[in-house]
Amino acid sequence: MVRVCIASGKGGVGKSVICANLGVVLSERGYRVSLVDADIEGPTLGLLFGYEHTQPTLHDYLSGNASAGDVVKSLSPTLSAVFGSVQLNALLKELELERLSELTSMLEQSSDLVLVDSPPGLEEDTKAAVRASEEVLVVLNPDIPSVAGALKVRILARREGRHILGVVANRTGGEYDIPPEELEAILEEEVLGTVRDDPLVRSSLVEGIPVVSAHPESPAAVDIRRLADRLVEKLIPPRR
């Protein structure tokens, strides 16, 4: 029904964590969610679910060696995912980035929501992730370098004719955080949610279980569920 690219410009701000956990929360609420790890050079989405090696991968699809049906992995009755290959040789193959849009369009037909985990940076791989979506959710940390990244990715998204759904401030709670109102003033976009810095996010990575499942009462899990409420309000019409 709708495809949302989770992007940031700057790397390491928490795109993949937000993507995986939103996917889990919304799928548990009965929405059909598909996740796509579009971080071609540094895929980590699978690791967040405890999958170190999956075959075939997005890379096989983009190189024409696997069909869409082959690469979609069912994680639960309402959550599916396409993971990338963590092996270096997958990158050496000729990849057709335009096929990413075909894949997300196909997934959209059987999903209420497709979440596309974007790579960092502003190169062709990020453009392909943005093009493969209608909406862009910008993730940042409440600091100046990451706001600069957010401003750049906002320009990229607009150039590609994509709509910015809003901003998520991740790893909040520090003494020197830029507050949400200031982020909104700088970016001229709504802050849809804030997610606190929480050591249990990192421990859930080691456990291979997204924090909303592994530690449902942790601060980050509580915040991500609230963010999911806001996304549903913005994106998904009420179910009959």
Ligand X SMILES: Nc1ncnc2c1ncn2[C@@H]1O[C@H](COP(=O)(O)OP(=O)(O)OP(=O)(O)O)[C@@H](O)[C@H]1O
Residues that bind ligand X (CB under 6 A): 8, 11-17, 39, 42, 44, 120, 170-171, 195, 197-198, 201-202, 205, 220
Encoded tokens for 238: 């009420």
* CB-based contact 178:57 (threshold 8 Å): no
Q: Contacts from 216-219 at CB under 8 Å and sequence distance 24+?
A: 219/173
Closest by Cα among 114, 107, 118, 127 to 84? 118
Per-residue contact flags (x/-) with Mg ion for residues 162 to 181, judged by CB under 5 A: --------------------
Q: Which does 202 bind (CB under 5 to 8 A by kind): ligand X, Mg ion, none?
A: ligand X
Q: Which does 220 bind (CB under 5 to 8 A by kind): ligand X, Mg ion, none?
A: ligand X
Question: Using the rule CB under 5 A, which residue among 8, 16, 85, 194 binds Mg ion?
Answer: 16
* Closest to ligand X by CB, 44 or 133: 44
* Closest to ligand X by CB, 65 or 87: 87
Directed axis angle between helix 219-235 and helix 199-207, to 10°?
90
* Closest to Mg ion by CB, 3 or 232: 3
Q: Which does 34 bind (CB under 5 to 8 A by kind): ligand X, Mg ion, none?
A: none
* Closest to Mg ion by CB, 41 or 96: 41
Q: Coil, strand or helix: which one is 187?
A: helix
Closest by Cα among 118, 166, 174, 99 to 141? 174
